[in-house]
Amino acid sequence: MGKKIDLSKPMYPIGIVAKRIGVSNQMIRVYEKRGIIKSQRMYKSKVRFYPEKQIAKLLKYREMRKNGLSLENIKEILKEKK
């Protein structure tokens, strides 16, 4: 059985997150594959869900990329803020 999901906090499906961020669903999957954000799956669903904390992390990442930081630098910065 997988990790339990905290249903007391809002969770958003990949499509909503993509629209909110302004990218495609595929790009959200790329961010996840790169280890920038983590999704959760509800029960046995194949749909990816993201809590607000992961969306905020993704918004920070995109802002840092716009400012010219590399993926490795960003990962280090985000790791330090944990």
Q: Which residues pair with 13 in a beta bridge?
A: 49
Does residue 21 fall inside a structural domain?
yes
**What pTM value is reported for the model?**
0.76
Task: Please give the residue range of the domain that contains residue 47.
Answer: 11-80
Number of domains in the chain: 1
Written as six digits, the tokens of 13 are 């499906």
Nearest to 58 by CA among 5, 21, 9: 21
Q: What is the CA radius of gyration of the chain?
A: 13
Low pLDDT (below 50) residues in the chain: 1-2
Is residue 51 situated within a structural domain? yes
Check if the beta carbon of residue 14 is closer than 8 Å to that of residue 50. Answer: yes
pLDDT at 1: 41
For residue 44, the domain's CATH number is 1.10.1660.10
2 within some domain: no
Q: Is residue 41 part of a domain?
A: yes
